[in-house]
Homo-oligomer: A and B are copies of this chain.
Amino acid sequence: MSKDNKKNSDQTSKVPTSTSDEAIIRFKKLQQKNVSVDTLFNAIISKDTTALSKGITLIESTQQNHFLKAQQLIEKCLPYANKSIRIGITGVPGVGKSTFIEALGNLLIRKGKKVAVLAVDPSSTVSHGSILGDKTRMESLVRSKEAFIRPSPSGNSLGGVAQKTRESIILCEAAGYDIIIIETVGVGQSETAVHSMVDFFLLLKLAGAGDELQGIKRGIIEMADAIVINKADGDNQKRAREAKNQFRKALHLYPLAENNWSPEVLTCSALENKGIEDIWKLIQKYVDITSKNGFFDENRRKQNKFWLLQTIEEQLKSSFYNNPNVKNQLKTKIEAVQKHEITPFAAARYLLELSKKS
């Protein structure tokens, strides 16, 4: 796609391909309690999924020494990353995301691709997430050697969860996955977070009661590169076609996004495996057009810059709001401005002064 990517491909080809002897030695090393970063790295770029899993576990760990190892590992993997197509998929619970991802994943594997599925779900608990947690929902994909499925990392803040997923993408790409699918159930701002880490953003919908756009969260439509009406099967086909037309009309009314791509609306039945091929063709068309006009690479560069500034700003806010003096006074000051007793600007100055005192 880009010069960078070509360079990366060349580097990959210098890595010796795995032989069974090497694989056995690597396997033994990976079983040790304190696997070194080098061991993990070499195994990951040799496409070892155990190593990839261990690497992502390091990224997700809250232990300080794990954190440092994870950062070293990511830095090492970075030159081998960035060669995939990253697809974001969102949709409310019940829309059939798992079935859809399984159908799309299986199609891609039949076409010779390696598929990694990650998730961003800030509502997931320590038990490792509500989405993708129940792997039985993607039975055939789980069994495939060419697929790697990982539930959402746990965490309290969307920023933290999204950062872990974004770092995991780098490891998956270094491990040779061509297609990275990022799923989100759309809690809070999670669609925005996923949108800013993928190349193509797909909104999965069901045909509803006629007034399709009511109830869609603000801003989601503007982010979508495609809207796919799922469960277009049986009695539902007519309604799905109607929904498709309504979305097409609505999309036409929205201003074009900066990539000059007109979002398309398709129907599919993930359950009956119908329409999946067309969706993949659409994604390929998008990648083709945006690679040629430069948006694909430009977008990734923008996303990197966005994440840099975003991380800095989240960190600044987190330090401020966790300052004990600020914590102590924030609620009182918010109440005072809400009662019009003090201006927001005077309250802000007061709290900023407080934060410097500790």
Contacts and interface: CB of A to CB of B under 8 A. Distances in A.
Contacts of A333: 308
B78 A341 contact: yes
B345 A307 contact: yes
A139 interface: no
A92 interface: no
A346 B71 CA distance: 7
Nearest to A222: B218
B213 A253 contact: yes
B320 A305 contact: no
Contacts of A320: 312, 316
Contacts of A27: none
A83 B79 CA distance: 60
Q: How large is the interface on A (under 10, 10 to 19, 20 to 34, 35 or more residues)?
A: 35 or more
Contact of A74 (B218, B337, B346): B346
Nearest to A312: B348
A316 B313 CA distance: 8
Contact of A343 (B167, B255, B339, B343): B167
B217 A338 contact: no
Contact of A213 (B170, B214, B254): B254
User: Of residues A213, A315, A340, which shows the largest number of chain B Cβ atoms within 10 Å of its Cβ?
Assistant: A340
A307 B320 CA distance: 16
Interface in A211-243: 213-219, 222
A308 B163 CA distance: 27
A307 B344 contact: yes
Contacts of A308: 333-334, 337, 344, 347-348
Contact of A316 (B217, B301, B316): B316
B342 A75 contact: yes
A311 interface: yes
Contacts of A84: none
A134 interface: no
A213 B253 CA distance: 6
23 contacts: A4-B339, A71-B345, A71-B346, A81-B340, A82-B340, A166-B345, A167-B345, A170-B343, A213-B253, A213-B255, A214-B256, A216-B255, A218-B222, A306-B344, A307-B348, A308-B333, A308-B337, A311-B344, A311-B345, A311-B348, A315-B352, A316-B320, A316-B352
